[in-house]
Amino acid sequence: MENKGSSAFNIHREGLMPQEETLEIGSKKNHLKIGIPSENHQIENRVPLTPEAVEIITGNGHEVMLEAGAGKGANYLDTDYSERGGLICENRQDVFRDCDIILKISPPTEEEIGWMKERQVLLSSFQVFTHCRENYIRSLMRKKVTAIAFEKIQDEHNCYPAVRSMSAIAGTTSMLIAAEYLSNQRGGKGVMLGGVTGITPTEVVILGAGTVAEYAVRAAKGVGSEVKVFDHSLHRLRRLQSEVGQLIPTSIFHPKVILKALRSADVLIGAIRKGDRDPDYFITEEMVKEMKKGSVIIDISIDRGGCIETSELRTQIDPVFVKHGVIHYCVPNIPSRVARTASIAVSNVFAPLILGLGGLGTTGKHLKKNVGLRRGVYIYNGTLTNETISRQLGIPSKDIDLLMAAF
């Protein structure tokens, strides 16, 4: 009798013959074309992928198209990229029009948004203080893009890897900037940051006890400065002491205590994020007037409006101004001053994300699986998903988690 079962073998008159067996097919890898336009090197020198990262991505079957000169600010040549599989493009608009994913450090301009094609993925920073405008957001929504702010992306430990890397660089670099502007070379009063035997060390006051403060403390203590840290959270102050590994003077915010510290301070670092219940400024103009002539203020919080009343948003082209005899440095992208180091740090975040997006076939599948990446999405296929932007601009938004549940 003929056997009509579903065995992998069927009976043949000359014996058993092997038959094809149907196996489950996994998700097909997606071939991605990643575009990296050149930044405005007068204000931003970082590049989102290093040549080494491009080599890894192209080795996994993807294409990387870079505008000519994209790595110039970080001292990477076009040949550094082309020799590792990158495609160099002379036409800036082609980078935006031909690629599936656009990688940028700074957010695209409205003109650049006009060059984008529909359904692209945009991975860049998003500065609420400067880019949260209705026309800007609606332009992205009309293109039905999926826009992801890299500073909001979380890792498996619920930390923000891009923010922590950039904060560490900003904290250390802020002290190098302070040393520069205290010197005669930059019109300072000719004081060396730190101290030597027989000379009173310089005094540094730091507002905030987060990652920026931690690395600023390390750098300041490393050259021998006296450091005082102020924050409104005892928990953060204790954590900072633990991370730094040595006792440093710390205090909860108190106007009289801060004012006393400012009167003798040579450097003031603003590294605190304002909460909804915090005052408009932690350091008022009247307090700044009490500081020594020739002292230096570096307001790292300027990207969110600043924490010092006399701060004004500046760029790398024109970074400083003097007010009440105090030198102010108020540039939001301090890591751009050390662009090579910062590019390597941000590339370490971007490269695995790109490989993940390609590995699961579609952006939607990757966002559904990767909760941390989902936290960075503020527009999904043209739908606003960020409640803060929605509240500020009056544009309706939808919860990204609900959109993924229906996916």
Does the pLDDT value for residue 128 go beyond 90?
A: no
> Could you tell me if 323 and 175 lie in one domain?
yes
Left, alpha or beta for 232 (phi > 0: left; psi -120 to 50: alpha)? alpha
> Could you tell me if 260 and 353 lie in one domain?
no
Question: Which residues, 6 or more positions from 166, have their beta carbon under 8 angstroms from its beta carbon?
Answer: 151, 335, 342, 345, 346
> Could you tell me if 129 and 217 lie in one domain?
no
pLDDT level of residue 249 (50, 70, 90 thresholds): very high
Give the count of alpha carbons within 13 A of 312, CB side only.
9
Asked whether residue 13 is domain-assigned, the answer is no
CA distances 132 to 120, 135, 292, Å, are 20, 9, 37
Asked whether residue 74 is domain-assigned, the answer is yes
Average pLDDT, integer, range 293-305: 93
What pLDDT score does 57 carry?
96
Which domain-ending residue is among 279, 312, 332? 332
> Could you tell me if 210 and 305 lie in one domain?
yes
What pLDDT score does 1 carry?
44
> Could you tell me if 195 and 98 lie in one domain?
no
Average pLDDT, integer, range 354-379: 85
Over the stretch 141-152, which tens digit does the pLDDT of each residue have?
Answer: 999 999 999 999
pLDDT level of residue 326 (50, 70, 90 thresholds): very high
Overall number of domains in the chain:
2
CA distances 320 to 186, 280, 331, 339, Å, are 10, 22, 8, 19
CA 329 centroid distance within chain:
20
Domain span holding position 38: 33-152+339-405
What pLDDT score does 359 carry?
67
Average pLDDT, integer, range 295-305: 92
Asked whether residue 3 is domain-assigned, the answer is no
Instruction: Give the DSSP letter string of 116-150.
Output: PPTT-EEEE---HHHH--HHHHHHHHHTT-EEEEG
> Could you tell me if 343 and 326 lie in one domain?
no
Asked whether residue 240 is domain-assigned, the answer is yes
Average pLDDT, integer, range 153-181: 94
Asked whether residue 373 is domain-assigned, the answer is yes
> Could you tell me if 189 and 325 lie in one domain?
yes
Average pLDDT, integer, range 248-258: 93
Place of tokens 């043209």: 382
Given a contact cutoff of 8 angstroms between Cβ atoms, the answer to whether 141 and 382 are in contact is yes
Residue type, 63: E
Place of tokens 């695995």: 352
Asked whether residue 12 is domain-assigned, the answer is no
Which domain-ending residue is among 315, 332, 349? 332
> Could you tell me if 131 and 176 lie in one domain?
no
Over the stretch 9-35, which tens digit does the pLDDT of each residue have?
Answer: 444 444 445 555 444 444 456 789 999
> Could you tell me if 343 and 388 lie in one domain?
yes
Asked whether residue 11 is domain-assigned, the answer is no
Range of weakest confidence among 35-39, 173-177, 227-231, 311-315: 311-315
Q: What is the CATH number of the domain that holds 240?
A: 3.40.50.720
Spatial separation of the C-alpha atoms in residues 226 and 248, rounded to whole Å: 9
What pLDDT score does 280 carry?
75
What pLDDT score does 294 carry?
95
pTM for this predicted structure: 0.86
What pLDDT score does 10 carry?
46
Q: What percent of the chain has pLDDT over 90?
A: 74
> Could you tell me if 91 and 58 lie in one domain?
yes
pLDDT level of residue 274 (50, 70, 90 thresholds): low
Asked whether residue 201 is domain-assigned, the answer is yes
What pLDDT score does 28 carry?
53
Range of weakest confidence among 181-195, 239-253, 274-288, 292-306: 274-288
pLDDT level of residue 180 (50, 70, 90 thresholds): very high
First to last CA, the chain: 49
Place of tokens 């302070």: 178
What pLDDT score does 406 carry?
73
Does the pLDDT value for residue 6 go beyond 70?
A: no
Q: What percent of the chain has pLDDT over 70?
A: 90
Question: What does the mean pLDDT of the chain come to?
Answer: 89
pLDDT level of residue 80 (50, 70, 90 thresholds): very high
What pLDDT score does 26 carry?
45
* Per-residue burial over 99-133, b = 16 or more CB atoms within 10 Å of its CB, e = otherwise: bbbbbbbbbbeeebbebbeeebbbbbbbbeeebbe
What pLDDT score does 305 carry?
84
> Could you tell me if 71 and 213 lie in one domain?
no
Question: In the structure encoding, which two tokens stand for residue 347, read together?
Answer: 């590339």
What pLDDT score does 275 carry?
60
What pLDDT score does 117 carry?
93
> Could you tell me if 47 and 145 lie in one domain?
yes
Spatial separation of the C-alpha atoms in residues 108 and 43, rounded to whole Å: 13
Which domain-ending residue is among 288, 312, 332? 332
Does the pLDDT value for residue 76 go beyond 50?
A: yes
